[in-house]
């Protein structure tokens, strides 16, 4: 019997070890006793600045996504590197914006509650608040994340889904984070707000297979418009283009309608129509209301925000978000 008890105990500890890192110890109002106004400070800061820079909603949402896909939601995307090999130096993060905004919030929090609120939690809270203040969905953000101190550009390059992804690549990279095909479709819906640089999709216009050709999956009229009015050459790295033309400031269903019309900007958008499950998910979303989409999007965001979080004694609380050992 003692042997059986030992085996049972070992098994239970093993299972806790499996579940622990992903779901452990995040809770609503985690800072209620240590920094009671933490979430209000973040919310007020976002509220006071978002009207002057509404595009920050999409930028912060993207930052949160890129942070969580590399070593979990641990704020490592914020770390600067003197040698140029941190996550933010990787190609997918070269156009990420909002680093100064997060650091400014951190400065306010450090003045109120030194060493208490993590940079990872600030990203999670600020991205939610920015989306809400611009009329988008709301979702629960349990807190208690700790910050990481490791930030590698190679890991960002390997784990963040590029806009040139086909379906297989998207499925694999999302599954690696514990996200399923429904999450893939819903989180892609964030492309309903924000902009992109031409460099993220000009291969579809000018050199899709390396032979100077155009992506046949892209609507020809839309492609012609992009070529003549937005991105006149393959080498345009500066021009920005709406991801959801005519509706980029509104969190709505327009993105999915465009995807079905073969007018999704990225190859990764188009890829969602190449699999029967994700295509069915898009059609199901479009049959429902915006409110229903908001609710489902919120569920996937909450799930993403728990990816491999560091809690308790794991990780640290960095005093300066851009400095690994602060």
* pLDDT given for residue 82 in this prediction: 83
Q: Closest Cα to residue 187, out of 95, 88, 293, 102?
A: 293
**Using CA atoms, how far apart are residues 159 and 161, in angstroms rounded to an integer?**
6
SS3 105: helix
SS3 5: helix
Number of H helices, E strands in the chain: 14, 2
Residues in binding site for Ca(2+):
67, 70, 72, 74, 76, 87, 192, 244, 252
From first to last of its 326 residues, the chain has per-residue pLDDT tens of 444 344 343 434 434 444 333 444 899 999 999 999 999 999 999 999 998 888 999 999 999 999 999 999 999 999 999 889 999 999 999 999 999 999 999 999 999 999 999 999 999 999 999 999 999 999 999 999 999 999 999 999 999 999 999 999 999 999 999 999 999 999 999 999 999 999 999 999 999 999 999 999 999 999 999 999 999 999 988 899 999 998 888 999 999 999 999 999 999 999 999 999 999 999 999 999 999 999 999 999 999 999 999 999 999 999 999 999 87
* DSSP code string of 9-60: HHHHHHHHHHHHHHHTT-BTTTTTTT-TTHHHHHHHHHHHHHTT-TTHHHHH
Residues in binding site:
67, 70, 72, 74, 76, 87, 161, 191-192, 244, 252
E strand segments, 240-279: 240-242
172 burial type by CB count under 10 A (0-12 exposed, 13-18 middle, 19+ buried): exposed
Residues in binding site for heme b:
191
* pLDDT given for residue 3 in this prediction: 42
Q: Closest Cα to residue 268, out of 163, 196, 176?
A: 163
Give 241's strand partners.
Answer: 196
66 catalytic, yes or no?
yes
Task: Choose, from 49, 64, 66, 197, the residue flagged as catalytic.
Answer: 66
* pLDDT given for residue 11 in this prediction: 39
């Amino acid at each position: 019997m003692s042997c059986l008890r030992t085996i049972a105990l070992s098994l239970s500890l093993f299972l806790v070890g499996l579940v622990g890192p992903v779901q452990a110890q995040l809770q609503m109002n985690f800072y209620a006793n240590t920094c009671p106004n933490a979430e209000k400070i973040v919310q007020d800061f976002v509220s006071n600045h978002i009207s002057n820079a509404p595009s920050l909603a999409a930028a912060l949402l993207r930052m949160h996504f890129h942070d969580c896909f590399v070593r979990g939601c641990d704020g490592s995307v914020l770390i600067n590197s003197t040698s140029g090999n941190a996550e933010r130096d990787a190609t997918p993060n070269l156009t990420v914006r909002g680093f100064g905004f997060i650091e400014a919030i951190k400065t306010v929090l450090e003045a109120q509650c030194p060493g208490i609120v993590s940079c990872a939690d600030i990203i999670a809270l600020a991205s939610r608040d920015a989306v809400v203040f611009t009329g988008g969905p709301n979702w629960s953000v349990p807190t208690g994340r700790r910050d990481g101190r490791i930030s590698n550009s190679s890991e960002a390059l390997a784990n963040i889904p590029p806009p040139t992804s086909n379906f297989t690549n998207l499925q694999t990279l999302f599954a690696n984070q514990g996200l399923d095909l429904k999450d893939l479709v819903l989180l892609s819906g964030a492309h309903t707000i924000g902009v992109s640089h031409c460099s993220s999709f000009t291969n579809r216009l000018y050199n899709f297979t390396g032979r100077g050709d155009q992506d046949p999956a892209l609507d020809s009229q839309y492609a012609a418009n992009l070529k003549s009015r937005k991105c006149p050459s393959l080498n345009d790295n500066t021009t920005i283009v709406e991801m959801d033309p005519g509706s980029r400031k509104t969190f709505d269903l327009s993105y999915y309608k465009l995807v079905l019309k073969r007018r999704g900007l990225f190859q990764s958008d188009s890829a969602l129509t190449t699999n029967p499950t994700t295509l069915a998910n898009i059609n199901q979303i479009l049959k429902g209301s915006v409110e229903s989409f908001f609710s489902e999007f919120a569920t996937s965001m909450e799930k993403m925000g728990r990816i491999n979080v560091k809690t308790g004694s794991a990780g640290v609380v960095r005093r300066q978000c851009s400095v690994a050992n602060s």
